[in-house]
Amino acid sequence: MSASNTVKSARKSLSWLLAILVGLTGLIAVGSLSDENASFTPKLALDLQGGTQVILSPLLLDGQAVTPEQLDQAVSIIRQRVDASGVSESQVVTQGDRNIVVSIPGVPDENTLALIKASAKLEFRAVLVTSVGAPSSSVDGTDPA
């Protein structure tokens, strides 16, 4: 009697294992068929696939010098831009005391290259109209002052 219970327990365990295996295989198949960019071959990184390298150097006015802090800040900003564009395995490093080297696997599109090369501009404008704010009353109707 205990031998048949052991066989039933083993069959039940194997059935569950087979059901889980079939379910996971189905999920993988559905995921790879529903995504147009999915494939069973791994994507190669920069070291195996090769790619594009962009060397950026700052345009300086006479008498200006680039500090290491400015280079680090620029590297951080460019790295955020590249990561936000969806490029994986990119490298953004400084070269010497002046250049920034951006290495991207594969052939990047024009939007990604333009995003990397774009410089941020902060413009200050004069305020044309100013007005004094009116004091607000509190919720219970009393004067807040």
CATH code, domain with 76: 3.30.70.3400
* 30 CB-side CA count, 13 A: 6
Number of structural domains, the chain?
Answer: 2
29 and 61 both lie in a single domain? no
Q: What number is the average pLDDT over the span 9-24?
A: 95
Taking residues 107-130, what's their average pLDDT? 72
**78 assigned to some structural domain:** yes
Which pLDDT belongs to residue 90?
85
Same domain for 22 and 80: no
Cα 82 versus chain centre, distance: 7
pLDDT at residue 26 in the model: 93
Please tell me whether residues 22 and 67 are part of one structural domain: no
pLDDT category of residue 98 using cuts at 50, 70 and 90: confident
Q: pTM of the predicted model, to two decimals? A: 0.52
More confident residue, 108 or 23: 23
The predicted model gives 33-51 an average pLDDT of: 73
pLDDT at position 133, please?
Answer: 65
pLDDT average, residue stretch 118-122: 64
Average pLDDT over residues 33-45: 72
Counting beta carbons within 10 angstroms of the beta carbon of residue 46, is it exposed (0 to 12), middle (13 to 18) or buried (19 or more)?
middle
